[in-house]
Amino acid sequence: MIWYPYTQMKNMKTPYKIIKADGVYLYTEDNKMIDSISSWWSVIHGYNHPELNKAIREQMDRFSHVMLGGLTHNAAQQLSQKLETWLPGDLNYCFYSDSGSVGVEVALKMALQYYINQGETNRTKILALKNAYHGDTFKTMEVGDDIDYHFVIEAYGPKQNVIHISTDIPSLEKAFKKYHNELNCFIVEPLLQCAGGMKMYDISFLHRARELCDKYNVLLVFDEVATGFGRTGNRFVADLVIPDILVLGKALTAGYIGHSVTVANTKVYRAFYDNDSKKALMHGPTFMGNALACNIALKSIEIFEQNDYMSKIKEIKKITFNQLAHFKHKKIKEIRIMGGCMCIEVFDSQSINGFQEFAYKRGVFIRPFLNYLYTMVPYIIKKHELIKIIDIIKEWFDQ
């Protein structure tokens, strides 16, 4: 049987069984619902997309997978070329993995070895943010600060090599002053901390982080597994402040197949490029650069560009904002909106208990967690569909 994620199996509510999915709609045997969270934020073009289906079929007819150890292929080469020109600055060197967590692990390993390769073995600490989420593997749990999910890591005692700070400039400056000799990187989910509760912060914090990283020679790592591909209203937050290492996942493959990419800039790459084989990056997920995943990612980027997705996201934000402009309720602590993400934080998680079922009956799939009721809609959503989601949320609080 299936062991489901993030849930107590003993009292788990039976999950909705999906038999078909198309556009923004998920179908069960007897219901049709709008997916308001894009299957963990990945299905940006909607389900069963004809062009993406064609891209995967065409690649499947050539071959589905070959390893990147000693072999290479067009799909991975073309995607890397595309990312090289599409991503800002000199973020040019693409290392593929099969999931976001592993992509972050690779970034952290790169950052550590970047200094080791230059004879600096004392830079073992990582600076990260409070409420950070970077994945569920062990090092990403350590770098994360999501005790509701990762309490098990406490069994190891206090974290030795990670310092967590809040998203204000004085805390940032203080941490750099104190630890800069020992830090290899500062890793952040830029502007929007998703799994940690859709927490939003200002770009000035990232500008200051870039300055301090330059001043003290610390690598800046952006985990844009969730924020990439338009979610914050920016194509990438990396367009505003350029990191040394960028991790993309989730929407990279439009929700078709798990894949991620860890992209390094020239400075990072050069620290590994040497006659000494010990300076190589010793990592290689079995399914890295999977041909189906790469071909879908390529097609997904093409669709994103050709259909002016950034305007679609602006429109989503505008509609969401207008629909919620005068909405208040005593149970609601705060409503936050950024790009294609909306979050209602309530004072007490009890007040959104039962909301999922309520929304299901009205034709919307939504999955609140802890004190957060949020939407991350597919970008192809129509105005009336988006309004329907928001109306159901209002109806819940107003009933």
Which residue's structure tokens are 């630890």?
179
Pick from 221, 209, 224, 200: which is nearest to 175 by CA? 209
283 vs 388 by CB, closer to ligand PLP = 283
Answer for which of 104, 220, 221, 381 binds ligand PLP (CB under 6 A) is 104
Binding marks (x or -) toward ligand PLP, 144..183, rule CB under 6 A? ----------------------------------------
For residues 61 and 350, what is the distance between their CA atoms, to the nearest angstrom?
51
Look up 250 and say whether it is catalytic.
yes
- Is 331 among the catalytic positions? no
- For ligand PLP, the closer CB: 26 or 128: 128
Q: In whole angstroms, give the CA distance from residue 201 to residue 335.
A: 14
- Is 214 noted as a catalytic residue in this protein? no
Catalytic residue selected from 199, 250, 312, 317: 250
Known active-site residue 133 = yes
* Residue 275: CA count within 13 A, CB half-sphere: 0
Q: Residues 135, 190, 289, 340: which binds ligand PLP (CB under 6 A)?
A: 135
Given 36, 38, 80, 101, the residue binding ligand PLP (CB under 6 A): 101
**Least distance between ligand PLP and beta carbon 233 (Å):** 17
Judged by CB under 6 A, which of 68, 110, 143, 225 binds ligand PLP? 225
- What are the helix and strand counts (H, E) for the chain? 13, 16
Give 129 or 390: the residue with its C-beta nearer to ligand PLP.
129
- What phi-psi label fits residue 38: left (phi over 0), alpha (psi between -120 and 50 degrees) or beta? left
> CB 250 → ligand PLP: shortest distance, Å?
6
Q: How far is CA 195 from CA 132, 257, 334, 358, 393, in A?
A: 8, 21, 17, 23, 20
Closest CA to 126 of 144, 149, 138: 144
Beta bridge partners of 90: none
Residue pair 265/250 in contact by the 8 Å Cβ criterion: no
Contact call for residue 100 and ligand PLP (CB under 6 A) = yes
Between 99 and 320, CB nearer to ligand PLP: 99
Task: Give strand pairing partners of 210.
Answer: none
243 is an interface residue for ligand PLP by CB under 6 A: no
Would you count residue 226 as binding ligand PLP (CB under 6 A)? yes
Catalytic residue among 6, 17, 276, 278: 6
Q: Rule CB under 6 A: is residue 223 a binding residue for ligand PLP? A: yes
Q: What share of the chain is helix, strand, coil (3-state, %, to 5)?
A: 40, 20, 40
Which of residues 189, 244, 345, 385 is near ligand PLP by CB under 6 A? 189
Q: What are the residue numbers of the active site? A: 6, 133, 223, 250
